Each structure stands twice: as structure tokens, then as C-alpha cells.
């Protein structure tokens, strides 16, 4: 599961980017400084595609769920496409923080009352305790949670440390713009559905996920920056290769988190093409890259996605 966490947070599930707002703050999180908004702006040109016929236009935009505050990406072709659309479809139409917390906490807490430390195999318990303590999240503070949720907490801490935040992410900005302009806003999935991909994992798989998060914490920032570089330059092929590498050790997870979802979304998009209008679809960039991308799935319906030149 090498580098699985970085790929997952950056380009697969938008719901995870909101967990930092719903989970109880830890001392380590409180010490993470918020990046200054006065940093010089950097131009980014993420990839954009379009599918169209005589009376319907659907744009496909690959998002980065958490970003640094100094990136200028919502301009040029992306802004033109957004402004021309009367409907915006995201992976997830994020609920308000209070509502999100009501969804997250019942899933994050083990109803059986079994302690997290008791779920860690005895042979790995010492490494777990030492790793968690080093990362600033003492095991005693998270005993009530499922392993998958603590994995995401660690990833959020690493993300913040690297200067990324969900508030600066593409979804947050697109949602704000859509509401301000009165565009119809919807999502392919619900927050419960997205988090369910984790919550329904077998306990053993969740523990593997958690231990990988601990072991890979130091490389999270550099790898996330590498992915951001590809996204900012619109290098979808390289981004797709990185995503495939991240998930290649688990075909089951690859299918659940990427391929199967891409197929479902392509079906919805193909159906929407039967109605006139202009739609701006924005999903994690990993879904628009690689051999099983949404674009490739759309080809099954005879639909061709064309890259929009900036």
C-alpha cells in the first residue's frame, strides 16, 4: 500500500478533506500553523475536458480536494467553462460542518466499545504506540475510533503540516462560486456513501491502512507536492501513473475507489447527455486519469471527451 494515503486524500475521496473540521482537535493539530494568505500567487493550469453534442455540453474538471492558498487555478478556460454552465456536479455536495459531524462520528466510533489498541496485532503494537506518539497523536486519545478514521486524522495532520487545506481546495471554491451565482449544485455521492468505503473495510484491512499511514507520514508532504505539481501543469498521464502505482497492490481497493465509481459516474453523464444544457462536472483528478478514467468509460457509450486547450 505504498503511498496509498497521499493518493487517496489528494485525488480520490472528497469527503476525507472535510474530516479535519469534524474530528476533535488534538494538541498536534493545534500547533500546525495556517499558511499565510499573503504568499505570492502561482499560476496553475489543471486539465479540463469537454463532451458535447448539438444541444448538450458537459465539462469534466479534475479537482484537488485540498490546496495551498497561493494557487491561481480558477481562471482561463476553467472559469469560462464554469461561467457557461447552469449546473455544477461534484463528487459530493458537502454538508455544513455541523451536519457532517452528525454523519462522521457514528461511523468513526466503534459501537462495540473495543479499544483501538486492542485491534492492533501484538507484534505491531509497540511500533503503533511509538509511531503515534512521535506523530503527536497519543494512542490514549483515539481509543474509541475505528482504525480507518485515525488513518485519515493522521493524513489530515500531515496535509496541514505541508501547507494544504480543504478550505483552499477546488471543491470549496467551486461550491462557493456555484452558490453565489445561483447555479444548481449536486453530487454524485453522499458523505455517508464515501466514508462507507472505509467503514465497511474488514478490521484487518483498516489496521493495515492505519499502520501504512504511520509508516508513510514523513513522505506524505513530498508526495502530495509531487501530485500537486502534475495537477497544476495539467499532466494527467503522469498523475494517472502515480495513482495506479499507489493502488496497484490492492486491486480490490482500486476497483472500489476508482474503477467502479468511474463506471457509475460515466453512466450518469451519458444519461445527462440526452438532455439539453451545459454542465460543469468536477471530480477528483485521479478519476480523470489512467486506463479506467471517466473519459475511457464514456467511450463505452460512444462519447468522446476532448481536452480543452488553455
Quick: pLDDT tens for 188-208.
Answer: 999 999 999 889 989 998 998
Instruction: Give the pLDDT of residue 33.
Output: 45
Instruction: Give the pLDDT of residue 29.
Output: 47
Average pLDDT taken over every residue of the chain: 87
Q: How confident is the model at residue 258 (pLDDT cuts 50, 70, 90)?
A: confident
Q: Tell me the pLDDT tens digit for each residue of 141-198.
A: 999 999 999 998 888 888 888 899 888 999 999 999 999 999 999 999 999 999 998 8
Instruction: Give the pLDDT of residue 305.
Output: 98
Instruction: Give the pLDDT of residue 70.
Output: 87
Instruction: Give the pLDDT of residue 15.
Output: 72
Q: How confident is the model at residue 140 (pLDDT cuts 50, 70, 90)?
A: very high
Query: How far apart, in Å, do the first and last CA atoms of the chain sit?
Result: 35
pTM of this structure: 0.89
pLDDT of residue 14 exceeding 70 = yes
Highest mean pLDDT among 81-90, 105-114, 248-257: 81-90
Q: How confident is the model at residue 223 (pLDDT cuts 50, 70, 90)?
A: confident
Region 12-18: what's the mean pLDDT? 67
Is residue 277 within 8 Å of 84, Cβ to Cβ? Answer: no
DSSP string, the chain: -TTHHHHHHHHT-GGGGGHHHHSPP-HHHHTSPPPPTTSPPEE----EEEEE-SSEEEEEEEE-SSB-TTEE-SSHHHHHHHHH-SEEEEEE-PPPHHHHHHHHHHHHB-TT---HHHHS-HHHHHHHHHHHHHTT--GGGSTTB-HHHHHHHHHHHHHHHTT-BGGGSHHHHHHHHHHHHT-EEEEEE-HHHHHHHHHTS-HHHHHHHHHHHHHTHHHHHHHHHHHHHHHHTT-HHHHHHHHHHHHTT-HHHHIIIIIHHHHHHHHHHHHHTTS-EEEEEEEEGGGGSSTT-HHHHHGGGT---EEPP-
Region 290-310: what's the mean pLDDT? 94
Region 263-283: what's the mean pLDDT? 97
Q: How confident is the model at residue 214 (pLDDT cuts 50, 70, 90)?
A: very high
Instruction: Give the pLDDT of residue 52.
Output: 97
pLDDT of residue 250 exceeding 80 = no
Q: Tell me the pLDDT tens digit for each residue of 28-61.
A: 544 444 444 456 788 999 999 999 999 999 999 9
CA 1/CA 248 separation, integer angstroms: 8
pLDDT of residue 20 exceeding 80 = no
Contacts of 77-80 with CB under 8 Å at 24 or more apart are 77/48, 77/308, 77/309, 77/310, 78/46, 78/48
Instruction: Give the pLDDT of residue 218.
Output: 85
Q: What are phi and psi of 72, to 5 degrees?
A: -100, 100
Amino acid at each position: 500500500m505504498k503511498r496509498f494515503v497521499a493518493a487517496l486524500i489528494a485525488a480520490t475521496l472528497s469527503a476525507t478533506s472535510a474530516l479535519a473540521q469534524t474530528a476533535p482537535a488534538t494538541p498536534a493539530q493545534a500547533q500546525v500553523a495556517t499558511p499565510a494568505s499573503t504568499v505570492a500567487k502561482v499560476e496553475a493550469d489543471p486539465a479540463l475536458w469537454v463532451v458535447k453534442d448539438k444541444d448538450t455540453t458537459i465539462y469534466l474538471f479534475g479537482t484537488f480536494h485540498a490546496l495551498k492558498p497561493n494557487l491561481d487555478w480558477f481562471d482561463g478556460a476553467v472559469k469560462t467553462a464554469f461561467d457557461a454552465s447552469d449546473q455544477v456536479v461534484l463528487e459530493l455536495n458537502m454538508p455544513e460542518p455541523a451536519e457532517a459531524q452528525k454523519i462522521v462520528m457514528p461511523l468513526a466510533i466503534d459501537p462495540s466499545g473495543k479499544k483501538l489498541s486492542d485491534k492492533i496485532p501484538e507484534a505491531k503494537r509497540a511500533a503503533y504506540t511509538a509511531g503515534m506518539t512521535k506523530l503527536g497523536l497519543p494512542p490514549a486519545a483515539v481509543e474509541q475510533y475505528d482504525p480507518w478514521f485515525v488513518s485519515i486524522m493522521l493524513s489530515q495532520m500531515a496535509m496541514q503540516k505541508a501547507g494544504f487545506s480543504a478550505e483552499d481546495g477546488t471543491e470549496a471554491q467551486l461550491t462557493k462560486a456555484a452558490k453565489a451565482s445561483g447555479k444548481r449544485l449536486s453530487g454524485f455521492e453522499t458523505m455517508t456513501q464515501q466514508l462507507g468505503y472505509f467503514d465497511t473495510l474488514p478490521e484487518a484491512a483498516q489496521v493495515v491502512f492505519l499502520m501504512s499511514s504511520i509508516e508513510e507520514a514523513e513522505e506524505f508532504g513530498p508526495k502530495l507536492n509531487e501530485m500537486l505539481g502534475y495537477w497544476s501543469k495539467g499532466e494527467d498521464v503522469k498523475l494517472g501513473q502515480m495513482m495506479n502505482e499507489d493502488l496497484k497492490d490492492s486491486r480490490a481497493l482500486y476497483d472500489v475507489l476508482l474503477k467502479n465509481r468511474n463506471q457509475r459516474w460515466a453512466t450518469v453523464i451519458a444519461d445527462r447527455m440526452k438532455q439539453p444544457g451545459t454542465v460543469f462536472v468536477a471530480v477528483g483528478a485521479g478519476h480523470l486519469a489512467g486506463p479506467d478514467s471517466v473519459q475511457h468509460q464514456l467511450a463505452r457509450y460512444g462519447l468522446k471527451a476532448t481536452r480543452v486547450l488553455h
